[in-house]
Chain A
């Protein structure tokens, strides 16, 4: 049972445009959501998070949106840069338990 799903295995955008990465979840107990970024041959690194009491969190070029009624969150990167090319993992938890990760989306930003 895949509780966190990233339905797009890959996404390709032009430099300067917006990248939108999507994530859906099924467990209504999830109350904290995170995005991780992974370059080849490296471990994932934390990017941005959002608590369920919010619907938006912004950090520079990165914004995460949470729609609890739809059990959907998205990561927006504006403007996209070639260095943003990586695999992006969505993750969710209910307080005090382990993180459940999505399958990841490979983002490619073309110069």
Chain B
């Protein structure tokens, strides 16, 4: 498709399990971000990939969170030993231009529920 694709769209897991969320950005977009939105909260930055540069991981809330971007395209966000406070909508975002002067294109999100 032409947009940012995320999977799964919904994930329910038990506390303590690991989850993987996948993102296929728009082809040709060099910048990829992960944000999350918790109930009643704004959009919280998690991690930013730009081309071959080292990712900006400063938004990851704990060492249980990690992300990879293989081949400059698909990205996977992994949450280990999930906790209830990890429940949120995880949004993948891509942008054609470096930095933030360009438009961001959001995926529809992966809703994670940790029981």
Binding site for B on A (CB under 8 A): 4, 6, 32, 34, 36, 41-46, 49, 89, 91, 93, 95-104
| B41 contacts A by Cβ under 8 Å | yes
| B48 contacts A by Cβ under 8 Å | yes
Find chain B residues with CB under 8 A from A100 CB. Answer: 45
Contact B56–A98 (Cβ < 8 Å)? yes
Indicate the size class of the contact surface on chain B.
20 to 34
> A97 is contacted by which of B4, B43, B99 (Cβ under 8 Å)?
B99
Given contacts A95-B99, A95-B101, 16 further A-B contacts (CB under 8 A): A34-B100, A34-B104, A43-B107, A43-B108, A43-B109, A44-B104, A89-B43, A96-B98, A97-B99, A98-B33, A98-B100, A99-B100, A99-B104, A102-B42, A103-B42, A104-B42
A101–B105 Cα distance when bound, in Å, is 14
Find chain B residues with CB under 8 A from A93 CB. Answer: 99-101
Find chain A residues with CB under 8 A from B41 CB. Answer: 103
A-B contact pairs, 11 of them (CB 8 A): A32-B100, A43-B107, A46-B104, A93-B101, A96-B98, A96-B99, A98-B45, A98-B48, A99-B100, A100-B45, A101-B35
Find chain B residues with CB under 8 A from A41 CB. Answer: 108
A109–B110 Cα distance when bound, in Å, is 28
